[in-house]
Amino acid sequence: MKRETITRMLNDIDDRFVSEAAFPDPASAREGPERIKHMKKKRIITLALAAALILALGAAAYAAGLGSAIAEIARELSHSVPDEEMRKERPEAAAYIDEWNSRMDEWAEMGENSDKTAQSAVLPDGTTITLTENFYDGDRLALSYVLSAEGPRIDYDFGPDHECFDLLTESNGLAWYQDLSETQYLEIMAKLKLRGKVGFVIRTVGVGDHVRLADGTDIGPFIGAELDGNTVLVPQNGLPEAAKGQDKLELSFVVKTYEAYIWLEGDQVYSYYPVADGVPVSFEIFNNTSK
Amino acid sequence: MTDEEIINLFFERSEQAIDELARQHGGAVTRVVRNILGNEQDAEECVNDTYLGVWNAIPPHRPSPLRTFVCRIARNLATKKYHANTAEKRNSQYDLALDELAETLAAAGGVEQELEAQELRAAINGFLGTLSAADRFLFLRRYWYAESVKDVAKAAHSTAGSVAVRLFRIREKLRLYLEKEGLPV
């Protein structure tokens, strides 16, 4: 194969794979492919807007309401303690795992001492966000929430007459289908095959990447983890000064509807992503040590 | 400054957008470009061209993640320049990475021919989907980001020897996958 052909092949790699490899991979800190095979549930992806990490755990057995999601996730994310051989041959990896485990021990401790009084907010479209658990001791914070919303919705009301049509840009290689179910994807492909072109809007409800105090202070970026619908957030670099030593904090989340306008024509992909609308939702949490 | 805020600056056509982009993602862009071109002067030009490319693309585009978008523009510009350069001028990590792939993909003795872009796109993405996340990470770091085996090993918390062996196995898998898909390698 010609070198130019190889370059072209590499240039066509999907964004999702490129993004996945954009940051160092903690999952590889363990030994060889056999061990990693058991860790596939702990895939790391990046949340670019908040420079945060989300660790997605698919099939673990945590059930909401039966304990602490924060502690449960901490246990799931902990690595095996490096043995002597690993400490000798790969001291950097061993040190990394020790540091990570120590952070997870801290998460578990926060989870065990968290306030598990649930607070919910229901939006006009039926979307519900529930803060299921929180820990705040004036210096450290850990949150767990559950978002109940309709999955990605596809509306086929997008075409050349739509006001956003002129805003489309060529986006070949874009993984526009990554959040869709197989049924949704196949339905789109069937329409494309039938007509040679198809336009649609993918609407997805999600929580914005920022959590702010009442005065607007952003308390991220976070290390986040997701387990069976529970999302746990812990500030990556500690709390900002404005959030320290308070008796209570008013935390503001933003629930957004993300839209993706997609036009497929033959092999070409065109897309437009407008700024997502957001509905702010506030929760009040109290300093666990001042009760 | 967050990516969202940087993108807003581009939408406002504020030149501060370039400064903030360089501050947040300039390191990653420069690494990709340097790895591919291996020449400081070419790399600097290419980084500047990348920022211009981003300026022209946003708006209307509102990319997410921004880093992937910027690195992709940088990589496309750098590989274009790389192939335009004379053989003597090519002395980069990307050169070595291409050698590795070219050697494996030529080994099957297939008839050399230009492949359809669409077939290749489907094939490489299909292949990557069959790999474990860890192997995909190694492949992308070595062949897309054009990092040295040593740097890939560092990012994966492994040793250069172990990474080299795993990359060899991944290249073999790629060759078999392309053959199975009926693509001449």
A3 vs B71, B102, B143: nearest CB: B102
Task: Please report the pLDDT score of residue B106 as a whole number.
Answer: 65
pLDDT band for B33, please (50, 70, 90 cuts).
very high
Report how far residue B28's alpha carbon sits from residue A22's, in angstroms, rounded to the nearest whole number: 9
Domain residue spans in chain A? 8-290
Nearest residue on chain A to B29, judged by CA atoms? A22
How much is the pLDDT for A290? 62
**Low-confidence stretches of chain A (pLDDT beneath 70):** 24-66, 93, 172-175, 178, 290-291
Residue A264 has a pLDDT of 92
Residue type, B91: N
Question: Phi and psi (nearest 5°) for A81?
Answer: -65, 130
Beta-ladder partners of A154: A202
Tens digits of residue pLDDT in B103-153: 877 644 444 445 565 677 778 888 998 888 888 999 999 999 999 888 888
The residues, any chain, with a CB within 8 Å of residue B74's CB and separated by 6 or more, are B29, B32, B33, B46, B47, B50
- The pLDDT assigned to B108 comes to 45
pLDDT at B122: 79
> In chain B, which residues have their Cβ closer than 8 Å to the Cβ of A265?
none
The pLDDT, as a whole number, for residue B15 is: 84
Residues from chain B that touch A44, judged by Cβ atoms under 8 A, are: 133
Q: What angle do CA A199, A203, A206 make, to 5 degrees?
A: 155
- The mean pLDDT of B11-22, rounded to a whole number, is 88
Q: Choose the closest CB to A18 out of B2, B72, B157.
A: B72
Burial A24-47 (b: 16+ CB within 10 A, else e): ebbbbbbbeeeebeebeebbbbbb
**Range among A59-63, B60-64, B137-141, B177-181 rated most confident:** B137-141
Q: Are A10 and B143 in contact (CB under 8 A)?
A: yes
Contact between B159 and A3 using a beta-carbon 8 Å cutoff: no
The pLDDT value given to residue A186: 86
Pairing of strands A52-57, A222-227: parallel
Calculate the CA dihedral of residues B33, B39, B41, B44 and round it to 10 degrees: 10
- Residue numbers in A near B136 (CB within 8 A): 17, 20-21
pLDDT of residue A25: 53
Nearest Cα residue in chain A from B99: A3
Q: How far is B105 from chain A (nearest CA, A)?
A: 6
Residue A65: strand, helix, or coil: coil
Q: Which of B110, B137, B143 is opposite residue A25, by nearest beta carbon?
A: B137
**In whole numbers, what is the pLDDT of chain B averaged over residues?**
84
Using a CB-CB distance cutoff of 8 angstroms, which residues of chain A are in contact with residue B102?
Answer: 1, 3, 6
Q: Are strands A230-235 and A119-122 parallel, antiparallel or unpaired?
A: unpaired
